[in-house]
Structure 1
Amino acid sequence: MFFWSINHFFMVKYNILFLVCCLSLSVLIVILLWLIRKVGSISWELNINRTILNGITIESSIEKHLNEYLELLFPIIESRGYFFYLYDTKSENYLLRVSRQVDKSTGKIAPSYSGLIPYNREVYNPPLWLPRTNSAEGPLIIKDGGVPLLHLMIREGEGLIRIGPVRSAIGKTRLKKLEKIARVLQPSLAVLLSIEKQKFDTKLIVTTAKAINGLAKSVFDINSLFNTLISLSAKMIDAEACCFLLKQDNNFVVSVISGFKKEVETQLKCNQQGLHELFNIVKDVESCQILPSTYDFQKIPTCFSTSSNQLVTLIRIDNFLLKGVIAFWHNQDSTFGQHQISIVKDLILRIGELFDSKRDSGEFVNAYSEVLSILIEANDNLEPFTVGHSNLIANYSVAIARELKLPQDEIPNIKLAAYFHDIGMIGLSNNILFKRGKYSKIEFETMKLHAEIGASIGESAFANTNVPLYIRHHHERWDGFGYPDGLSGEEIPLGSRIIAVADMFNAKLGGRKYREPVTFEQAIKDMISSAGTQLDPKVVQALVEWFKNKQTDHKRIGRSLGPCWLMRCSPASICKECNAFNRRDKNCWEFKDVNCSSHGNNCTTCFVRTETIYRSNEPQFCI
């Protein structure tokens, strides 16, 4: 019995010791596993830090970096869509910068193209912008249109990531990883946004410098000026290609050529006989159009006449500095009229006369504003809907300035700035200036540079410092959401606020290919509704009062406020072909075969007529 007790004691002791050892070993294993997991977590975090912070390069776009950041989230949260928004200080909203979709068949992330995403009941179409909210920075599960999304705010509110659709429950480990990524992204976003701003500022400086140098060169280099004018003219008459053949002694030099393949350019430059044939076609006429079915078409160099569906427009140039021929190639379904040919001829004639009259190089300095004026007119004439645009803005601006009783010596500065408010557009590249259809985001941002480019050009062209200032800020908004500087209210120079009202009013009354112009009554209502947001209420009221004063003239009962050619500021090249030109015995729409389509209008919707009808129906005219 005694020995059994001793034996039992030792067995219990050994069992306890064994249990303690097992327990200790288990604790050690747990600690070891925790350390391994911790080291793995630290290693993962270091890799994330290294990927995010070391991956920043100046050469890459911000969109490329945001794409890479979204790819880091793919192993953590499985979903079909990943969307990165950046905060825009001007609009005070988050704007969608990168959208990525997962192809479940391959498991890869790819750029999102809406037309290529297969149909799925839970595919989420993200909004292009989101309002700024005070939501927490940590990851949240929200619903947008019933679709569950993971909403991840980047610290300091500079960025926002949405992932969806997602499961309604996400593990704590995954959420912690997302928090760590958001924490690391904040400083990298700050760096990327700073780089993007520096790139944009640099692009602005380069673009502005090119524009100024290009226009300055146009003043002193007639070949450069003709290059610009011919490019504008080609757009004006819907030409696919053009060239200018400059006559030097008995030979021709192709000084401008655009729209042709390289091999065609080479063949043309080496074909003196063909160039002489082109010139001889218009040797005794100012201009002509040649169809493929005509005899003269056979005289055109064969490198040009390979297509049977083309027609050619030739314009002869003959002044002191330049002699030669401009050739434009069109498809037969091109839509342009004789009035557009007349506009091109008049522009070229004006340039020739200007340089003929200023042969002395010292006088060319004084020709700067004259050349800019010719370029502005050419730009306005690119489309029928914008004919007379700059003159109209200038006239409305003067009327508003007088209604506001501004000092007489300030009104000419406002008129000058209003006329040249879009001069910066000519400084932009041809792919922006001649863009058909809607601008992309980058193109739109580039287009907005025209205000700053125009101001820089104005500083070189005009002595009064207010003129470039008014040009710079004519796209600012009363509520501060305009560009380029986001000024608001009284911060915006008064001259710029006047031009903005005149510009918007003219835009309402002028049609476009994709829309009819609004009536005079609707234009006035739209202007009043924009007062206090986009436009200065005081300036809008001045425009309304100016019209009221004109409409109370009893001599105008049943008649338009003025002749259409004056009210629309149409050039003589258009007006002289219209039956209503210089006729004051009837309203313009009462004549047959008028030439309204030449300036993008028709009598039914033209404000010259709609204003008269409105005034006749509402004789008290009270807005």
Structure 2
Amino acid sequence: MISTIKDTLKEWISITDTFLTEYSLWIVLILLALVIFSLLAISWSIQYAREMKWRWKQSLMLAQKLHPEKGLEQNLSDLLEQIDTMVEAPTYVFYLYDDSKKVYLLKAVRHRSQGFGKVEPSYSGLVEYKKEQFLPPLSLVADSTIGKLEVMKVGEVQLLNIPIGDKEGLIRVGPMVRGNYSRQVERNISDFTEMMNQSLHQFIAMENIRNKANIIVSTGQALQRINSIALDSRVTIDFVLKLAVKVLNADGAFFCIRQDDVYQLTAASGTDPDLLQGFLQGEPAKKLFDLATEQEDIRLIRQNDDSFYQIPPYVAALGAEAFAIVDVSERRENPRSRMLMLWHKTEPTEDEWKDSYESLSILADNMREVLGYQMNLKKFSGSYVSILKTLAQIQDNLVPHTVGYSELMSRYSIVIAKEMGLEEDVIRDIALAAYLSNIGVIGISTDLVNKEGKFSDEEFELMKLHSEVGASIVQSTLGNERVSSYIMYHHERIDGNGYPKGLSGNNIPVGARIIAVVQTFLAIVNGRKYRDPVPFDKALQSLQSAAGAQLDEEIIGIFLTWFKKKQADPQISGRSLGVCWEMCCTPSSICENCPAYQRTDKNCWEIEGNNCQAHGKKCQTCYVRTETMTRKEAAFN
């Protein structure tokens, strides 16, 4: 048995020796191939790990250095600085494609400093002249060559052409020298541009929104300023007064209007208004104006004139040597009812006075004309209000869930203002501002007005302009600065994190704070096409949770107290707080087709076939019903 095993082992050894002798070369080659493959795999893994690490570092850099608030050009400059770490050259430029002009426009230029990997902004005239210096043109015509990542010759200069995205942008680096561009550099740049493309797209979108916003705001502010001068007599007088002081080289001036035989200061420049008010309310002012302009509209009073010593000491203490008094009123109807007075600390010469007299004569005629127009415009201001309200109604009625919105805004705002004990004229302005609070949306984009669903970040930034645009519209048409300010600031927050100015606390006008509370409440209880309304009790809880941060806590408390008083009325036990068409401010054109209209014997949701859907409501979620159900549950418990 043992001998048999030995024989078998000898036989296998013999076979193995024969195999190794005949195939030893092949075995060595196979083993060598396995070793080489393993080394290549290890090398590839190391290279891949390095590339992943490099990509991670670049991604981290993009996240850390690029921020929308820095502005597009600064972010482009930061991207050029990163390109500098990959390829060395004196100049780096960034172009963006302008689709309207079909060209690439130069947006950022950076030049290399002495140290590698550091580039600095370009300052014209500070780059030394070189024979092959790269002077980037302001624009480039888009052609097929621009879309390739390659080194190309432009004139006598070798440039690296780096396209970004699909015509999104273009980077050019140069002049290039031999040896500073390799396949590895090409891969790095290609990977980097792929990563930056999405960020660049977002920055361009944000910049477009910002530019459009700046145009809208700047235009609105300009129109608001112009129309304020045209429509508001106080702004007109202030503007003319400052202009007259400058043009006529006067040292100060004031304008006053006589009311109930007493002069009231309207505007002043170059002195303390309180000082002038004391003079104007006394008898000396009336005597001085009567004497000075008894025979003509304009009178220069010098130190050697008898009239000079009728000027009260505290006015003469201004140090003036001459006064010019101008009657700007309609002399036939109400002489000396509007008076302009300027003073000079150095008495004008005869020639200077002659020029000033002619200028003042023209100024007086123009002021009479403008102030007369403004008086007539005030008679038609009611027509402008009606037009703006009608536009707001049209906007409301475009979408079922906003039907009656502006009227609801106004009514609830009036309730709060009255509960706060505000003056009647303030309440009227709050009511109007609440009604027109969203009128600015009309001036932004009809596409956004009619959009279904939530806004994108860019669209939301554009929509935020509606408060400023709305304020400009109201100021331009009505000339009511208080209503305009309520509309302007109704999206400010108590904690200062609102827009457009970031006002906080009591720095926000009271009307704007009231409108903010009402607007938030209606947004919660009415819902949106993409979001169901919140039940009434939950809506009040949401409103309370916003107190002190987003909304005014005191105003919320007044609003909720009013609701509690309404709910405590025993006459509405088991019934809604009011009839649905009034609580929802639904137009009669919709209500006429509803069987619940004018019915007071039943709640609207108890009447079969009601027309709630026509104004964006469902009985199950409508706050007319949910408020009643909440009250019933509270009474039962």
Q: TM-score, normalised by structure 1?
A: 0.46
Structure having the larger proportion of residues in helix: 2
Q: TM-score, normalised by structure 2?
A: 0.45
Greater Cα radius of gyration, structure 1 or 2: 2
